[in-house]
Structures are given as structure tokens and as C-alpha cells.
Chain A
Amino acid sequence: MSTNLFDELHADGDTLSRLHHRLERDAAADGLLDVAYRTVDSPVGTLLLAATDVGLVRVAYDIEDHDAVLAKLARSVSPRVLRAPARLDPVAHQLDEYFGKRRTTFEVTVDLRLAEGFRRSVIEHLREIGYGVRESYAEVAAAVGNPRAVRAVGTACARNPMPVVIPCHRVVRSDGSTGQYVGGAAAKSALLALEAA
């Protein structure tokens, strides 16, 4: 008998998916689910959502490379990262409503640990910019008490850990053009158009 016999023992995909669900539940119950994540489809592409036990910690566009984002979360937050959609269900639902024009604000607990110092103040301010409102990078810089830090505001927006939910897309250039965006210029225009419609 050849040992190829064991190659036939393909583990059943259904069994593995059931076991994965059980691991998600057990990990959450034992306080081991440091980072839970899932993806959602949206009009601006597939979004990665990740949450700690504190709250939503990361939203990422496709072009940010979801695998790279998860690898970075494993390094900067905890390697206990599991695809566990349950924790993200509320935010996934709210995103669905937002893109369906049935929601203008997100009621989500956030974990801002990925934004420190000046970036943190910018992110905190972004959360105050209302639906359909636009502010210039210069206005944001003035609002956080550092009117000359226009470029740094741009960097902080580009490194916003939770785009869409924390609306860095509402920050535009002083001349009215949309400017750059972590999800690409087309995504920024799409969100601004959605909110203007």
C-alpha cells in the first residue's frame, strides 16, 4: 500500500467552516478575539472592517491591500486576528444603510489606537464634519489649532484608519477640487456625490 492513501483524506470544507464558526465563538467567549474582521461589498469596492474588543479599529479599501492591512494589524495590535463577522455586523449594516442613503451618521464605537498625536486630533475633528459638508485642508488645520499644518492634515487624512466611517472624504482642496484620497480619487468623488444627491 502506498502512503498516498492519506492524500484522499480531504477534510470536508463544510466541516472546516463549521469548525471555524465554533472557533470564532469560543475565541470571543474566552476573550481571545483580539482583532475580528470581515469584508463587505460596497459601491466603492470591497471594504475590510476590523474591530478590537474596544471597537472598530480599521476600515480599508481594496487598493490598500487587505492582506497587507491584516498583516499590519497583526503586528501593531495583536496576531490574534480571526475572520469573525459577528462583531462587525452592526457596522456592516450601517454601511449598507449609508450607501443606500438611509443613514447620515455612524453610531459605532471606535478604537482610535492606530491614530496618535496630531493625527489623532485631526481624526477627532473629522468626526465632527457633518454629512454632505465639505471642509478644506486649511480649515481643518485651523480647527485643530495649527493653521500652518495644512500638509500634515493631508497626511493625517491619507492615513485615516477608518475611511468612510470617519469622513476624511469631506476634506477637499481650498479651490474646491476633491484632492487625493486613501481609496482613490474616484471613490472620494463617489462618496461626495452620494452625500450631495
Chain B
Amino acid sequence: MRPFEDVVAEHGATVLRVCRAIVGPVDAEDAWSETFLSALRAYPELPADANVEAWLVTIAHRRALDVGRARTRRAIPVETPPDRPSSRADPSARYPDLWAALQRLPGKQRLALAYHHIAGLPFAEIAELLGNSPDAARRAAADGLKTLRKLYPEDETA
């Protein structure tokens, strides 16, 4: 079994992107930390032939559900929407807009999009996480991408 440090080095960045997509940029760091701490705890029991990235995404998915439930419980209406960077010229300023656009997608579309296009999971595994069929997961990812295209037009990012 490889040192856990290798797992963090190899998958840390992808899991952070997945967390940003599924819980939003504000809660992403908490979700990442909880994911890797849970993973570290369970790591010695992980089967040798397991797909480590899929395993981490599964943990992140469960943590995201917890974060989502906690956020619903403490949901307080915001009087003014948070500031969004308006500069399209600065590449780094585009990311918050993309994360914001992702947060506006329906839940299953957002998750299917994140798990397929960011984490690279096959639809069969995504279906297990979402509790639907591989076809439904594929449609959700495609619909999500279509919706995201409207919310976040590519020509503005070019």
C-alpha cells in the first residue's frame, strides 16, 4: 500500500476542484479537509485494487451531502448578493463566476458534471452515487453542461 502522502499529492488538486463544484468555493476547503481526514482514517482497509480517485470522490460526495444539510439548517436569507468579480480579462477572476454558475445548476446536474468532467468517473459509478441509472447520470451531465453554457458562455471566457 502506498504512503497516504502520495494519495494527497496525486489527487488533492482534483478533489479540491470537485469540492468547489459540488459545495461551492466557500465550503470547499472544509469539504476537502473532511474528505482527506476520513480517507486517512479508512485508508489501511482500502482494497489494493481500488480506484483511489473514485473512492475519494465517494467520500467527498457523502461529506458534501452533510455540508448541504448543515447549510440548509442554517440558511439565512442574504439581503444583498455577494460581490462577483466583473473582470473578464483576468483569468483568475473567471473562476469564481464559474463556481457561482455551477451552484445555480440543479443538484444532480451539478454533481454529474463534477464527477464526470472534473473527476473523470464513469457514468456507472456516478449513477451509484446519485442513485439513478447510468443513462440518467449521462443525461444529467449533458443537461448540466448545456445549462452551464447558458450561464457561463464560452465566448466571454476566451
Contacts and interface: CB of A to CB of B under 8 A. Distances in A.
B12 A79 contact: no
Contact of B2 (A3, A10, A74): A74
A6 B37 contact: no
A196 interface: no
Contacts, number: 93
Contact of B41 (A1, A22, A30, A37): A30
A155 interface: no
A166 B111 CA distance: 53
B55 interface: no
Interface string B72-102: 0000000000000000000100110010000
B1 A79 contact: yes
Given A1-B149, A16-B13, A79-B44, A23 B3 contact: no
Contacts of A74: 1-4
Contact of B40 (A11, A22, A32): A32
B2 A6 contact: no
A11 B28 CA distance: 11
A83 B8 CA distance: 10
Interface in B1-16: 1-5, 8, 12-14, 16
B-side interface size class? 20 to 34
Contacts of B41: 30, 32
Nearest to B94: A8
Interface in A9-29: 9-11, 15-16, 18-20, 22-23, 26-27
B36 interface: yes
Given A23-B40, A30-B41, A9 B17 contact: yes
Contact of A16 (B2, B12, B91): B12
Contact of A80 (B4, B16, B29, B153): B4
B117 interface: yes
A81 B94 contact: no
Given A1-B149, A15-B29, A73 B17 contact: no
23 contacts: A1-B149, A1-B154, A5-B154, A6-B117, A11-B13, A15-B16, A15-B29, A16-B12, A16-B13, A18-B29, A20-B12, A22-B29, A23-B8, A23-B33, A32-B40, A37-B5, A71-B2, A73-B3, A74-B4, A79-B1, A79-B43, A82-B3, A83-B5
Interface of B: 1-5, 8, 12-14, 16-17, 20, 29, 32-33, 36-37, 40-41, 43-44, 91, 94-95, 98, 117-118, 145, 148-149, 152-154, 157
